[in-house]
Amino acid sequence: MPPSRSTSRVPLSPPTDRASIPANMVRGALIGVVETVPGVSGGTMALVTGIYDELINSAGRLVSAAKQLVLGPHRLAGAGDHLAAVQWRIIVPVAVGMVVALLGVAGPVSVLVDAHPVTTRAAFFGMVAASLAVPLRLAGGPVRMRDGAVVAAAAVAAFALVSLPPVVVDPHPVLIVAAATAAVCALLLPGLSGSFLLLAIGLYQPTLQAVADRDLAYLGLFLTGCLLGLAAIVKVLQWVLAHHHRTTMVVVTGLMLGAMRSLWPWQLADRTPVAPDGDWLVPALVGAAGFCAVVAVLGLDARTRARTGQGVPEEIAGVEHPGPGRRP
């Protein structure tokens, strides 16, 4: 049987299996922090820190191992093969960093967003604006007219989604599970914010409060929904990234661009954007600082690759790999 494309594809991001465990914990902490902020995607941060592909592939292996254990045949041996392919030195520290960050910052971030909404949105607006370069770089090759049309369509869809007015609902168990399923799907998709989806559904504050209060009943239901969402989408994402990599990155660019509407610093309670008023200079400077911080991180990453000779993987450069039965 010829090897599948997903097993032979080049990683989207530079090899990180030699990175230190503390560095991966920091990456996980960054992902956990941004996931508490409506409008900022944890998937985007995974792209920026260079571990998105490793996380998706490892999550896919975990899902395959669970499926093998349930459905067989050769359950233990088959599951063992998948588990052996998981990049544990990456996902375990990242998971630990995420959990620690979520437990530590969920309460303060909620307070900060409520107390200083304009300034915090300005910071995140600048960071996401600079992060637009990441999926464009991963797409590889020159920008075409078709790419512009795809970006525009994805941006319009994301803009419409994040323009939905906030709602307030009772945290019913079924709703908690459903919301967590949608939120973890957004976590895996750069440009879509899981926290924003929770905000649109009306479960943002209850979820952050449950994390801050260590509400195990609520968190258990939320974890169940996350596992369901992970099982439902990760294999689809693997296939899409393996077979339609460039198009996926172009779509991600549009989603990130449209989602920036939710981070416009000056907006009313119903999310209607308004012109800057009052002391607009401080938010503008904070936004510029966030932009420059991400640019600095991306520049450091580029210099590190050049110094270590890692370069840009073939798929990032726009070189398609032949599928099964096709000659290069």
* DSSP SS3 for 267: strand
Answer yes or no: is pLDDT of 79 > 70. yes
Q: How confident is the model at residue 40 (pLDDT cuts 50, 70, 90)?
A: low
Question: How confident is the model over 114-126, as pLDDT tens digits?
Answer: 788 899 889 888 8
Q: 267 forms bridges with which residues in the sheet? A: 273
| Most confident residue range from 55-69, 87-101, 303-317 | 87-101
pLDDT at res. 308: 52
Work out the average pLDDT over 83-99.
Answer: 87
pLDDT at res. 323: 38
Answer yes or no: is pLDDT of 314 > 60. no
Place of tokens 């969920």: 106
Mean pLDDT, the chain, rounded, equals 77
Q: What is the maximum alpha-carbon separation in the chain?
A: 67
First and final C-alpha spacing in the chain: 18
* Cis upstream peptide for 38 (omega within 30°): no
- Model confidence pTM above 0.75: no
Cα(191)–Cα(263) distance, integer angstroms: 12
Work out the average pLDDT over 178-194.
Answer: 78
Place of tokens 């300034």: 119
What phi, psi does 68 have (nearest 5°)?
A: -65, -40
Q: Which residue has the higher pLDDT, 177 or 112?
A: 177
Answer yes or no: is pLDDT of 220 > 90. yes
Helix, strand, coil shares of the chain as percentages rounded to 5? 70, 0, 30
Centroid of chain to Cα 93: 17
Work out the average pLDDT over 156-171.
Answer: 78
Cα(167)–Cα(198) distance, integer angstroms: 10
Q: Which residue has the higher pLDDT, 83 or 110?
A: 83
Question: How confident is the model over 42-76, as pLDDT tens digits?
Answer: 877 787 777 887 888 888 888 888 877 777 666 67
Residues 6+ apart with CB under 8 A from 54: 11, 13, 16, 17, 87, 90, 91
